[in-house]
Amino acid sequence: MHTLGEVAEFLQAELRGDSNYVITGIAPLEKAGEDQISFFGKVEGFVQTSRQYLTATKASAVILTVKDAEDYFGNAILVEDPYVSYAKLTSLFNNAPKIKPGIHATAVIGKNVSIGEGTIIEAGCVVSDGVKIGDNCHLYPNVTTYHNVQIGNRAIIHSGAVIGADGFGMANDKGKWCKIYQLASVQIGDDVEIGANTCIDRGALEDTIIEDGVKLDNQIQIAHHVKIGAHTVIAGCTGIAGSTTIGKHCMIGGAVNINGHINITDQVIITGASTIERSITEPGIYSSALEVQPHQKWLRTKVLLLQLANIVKRLRKLEEQQNE
């Protein structure tokens, strides 16, 4: 519980209302009740919440811009970006159990390991030989870091993540597969978050690199020698093939498939379920695949797609005849 005065001070924002009013939690505008705070504004990638929710909300306080507050007469926290302020405020109301820094008794720690001050290694984690982990990191239960992995400061790595397993390298020797041992490692920068059951493979000859501020969702596959630029965010179930470079400040939706040995420049947004086969050299928003359709309509669309090559061929023939 926190007073509105404490909330405003934490957000370094202007308060319009009762500074002594006690807030017990955060909730969406349309579902908030008394003693709860909410926000009104645009969420990154989505349209702004409907104004009808603002006028009808039962929240005891709302985070919003000065302009949006003109017609709102309840307790208000006035900020430049309500969504960012909401994001920051969640840390103040975070109800996760508090765990003291240290290494759980069931964790396995290898030789020549370096673990920084304030770092938490929870139950069942495996930190293999030669791993370096920075200050104030948090490895949730059952995280596995293979040998010689380097992790920067303030990393958050969720349960089941595997960092530094062998990349999928094989050479075909007369019909039989010859394993290519992965001789490099993984470097992870500062302030990186890695979701549950995400896998980041080590490089064959050059390290896989995750730069500062990258945020990875659950169940992402990052292959060997991939480089992800600073402050890029990637949603769940995305797969990135080997030796691909992704720029800084990119946003990649869920279930995106990214080919290997390509480059994606900075400031690129890729919408969910897209397939990226070639390099992207210009910033912008990119999409592929078809939206869901009623089954019968999809069957008709599929027939047309299968006939597309013949249709184009016939059109070209008609054009040639017309030109003659």
> Looking at the annotation, which residues are catalytic?
224
Name the phi and psi angles at 125, rounded to 5: -70, 150
Cβ proximity of 149 and 164 under 8 Å? yes
> Which residue type is seen at 25?
G
Name all contacts of 39-42 with Cβ < 8 Å and 24+ positions apart: 39/63, 39/64, 39/82, 39/83, 39/85, 39/86, 40/64, 40/68, 40/72, 40/82, 41/65, 41/68, 41/81, 41/82, 41/83, 42/83
The per-residue b/e assignment along 83-100, b for 16 or more CB within 10 angstroms, e otherwise, is bebbebbeeeeeeeeeee
Name all contacts of 292-296 with Cβ < 8 Å and 24+ positions apart: none
